[in-house]
């Protein structure tokens, strides 16, 4: 009413305590009368343990997350181009010519040299052949028939210091044999499959025999165990 002071409302905590106390009293009365005391008792417990957030100021809960950064090391892309008797990595001998060039370019970039299709490489199979080079790696393509295909395809590769002008891509076999490996390391990796010889025309050579014509072979500085490999090839080359 106008002219009268309005009494302030009691704190909410006091109200809840009074309600809880009344609930307990009711519970006791019902128990004495043989009634059910479970409902008011439950109500009293619920009211006495409830948390009421202030309505005047919203509560902000700060949360933090901890991110775990896992360091990863990408494999050297050259590792995917391991040298094998039947191809380079997943690019097997017999792969279509343009496909082989595209797949190698994806890792090695544009070729350093490309002869394009020519009939001048007379010792290679077919009527036209092609050599594409990335530094020390050369792949040989032919439009003729070989043991791997009869359409234009990749049939041979060579990795050598001569092709790279003294510099070379560090391409190796799955057993870690590459340019600079010794004949002793070659024998340790491939065991009795290794044959070493000295050809009157081509000089010291080595080969890892397998299912013909898929085998690794190349040249070295000599035939002794401490001689160093300076060229590796896969498949049967031109003139053979």
Note the pTM of the prediction, 2 decimals: 0.67
Tell me what pLDDT residue 29 has: 42
- Is 136:169 a contact under the CB 8 Å cutoff? yes
User: How many residues can be counted in the chain?
Assistant: 240
Give me the CATH topology for the region 78-234. Answer: protein yfey like fold (2.60.460)
pLDDT at 38: 43
Over residues 156-174, the pLDDT tens digits come to 999 999 998 888 899 999 9
Question: Is the Cβ–Cβ distance between 57 and 81 less than 8 Å?
Answer: no
CA distance 179 to 177: 7
Do 136 and 161 touch, CB atoms closer than 8 A?
A: yes
- 198 confidence band (pLDDT: 50, 70, 90): very high
Beta-bridge partners for 142: 129, 153
Residue spans of the domains in the chain: they are 12-49, 78-234
Which run of H or of E encompasses 206?
strand 203-208
Q: In what order do the strands lie in the sheet with 91-92?
A: 83-84, 87-88, 91-92
Average of per-residue pLDDT across 190-218 = 91
């Amino acid at each position: 009413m106008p002219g009268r002071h309005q009494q302030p409302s009691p704190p909410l905590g006091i109200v809840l305590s009074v309600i809880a106390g009344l609930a307990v009293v009711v519970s006791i009365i019902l128990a004495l009368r043989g009634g059910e005391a479970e409902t008011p008792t439950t109500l009293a417990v619920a009211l006495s343990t409830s948390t009421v957030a202030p309505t005047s100021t919203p509560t902000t809960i700060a949360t933090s997350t901890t991110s775990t950064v896992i360091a990863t090391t990408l494999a050297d892309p050259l590792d995917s181009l391991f040298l094998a008797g039947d191809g380079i990595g997943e690019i097997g001998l017999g792969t279509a010519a343009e496909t082989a060039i595209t797949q190698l370019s994806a890792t090695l970039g544009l070729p350093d040299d490309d002869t394009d299709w020519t009939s001048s490489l007379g010792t290679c199979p077919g009527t036209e052949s092609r050599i594409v080079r990335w530094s020390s790696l050369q792949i040989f393509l032919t439009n003729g028939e070989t043991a791997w295909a009869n359409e234009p395809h990749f049939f041979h590769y060579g990795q050598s210091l001569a092709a790279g002008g003294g510099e070379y891509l560090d391409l190796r076999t799955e057993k870690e044999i590459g340019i600079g490996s010794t004949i002793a390391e070659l024998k340790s990796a491939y065991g009795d499959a290794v044959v070493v010889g000295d050809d009157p025309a081509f000089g010291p050579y080595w080969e890892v025999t397998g299912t013909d014509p898929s085998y690794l072979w190349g040249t070295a500085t000599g035939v002794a165990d401490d001689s160093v490999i300076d060229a590796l090839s896969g498949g049967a080359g031109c003139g053979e």
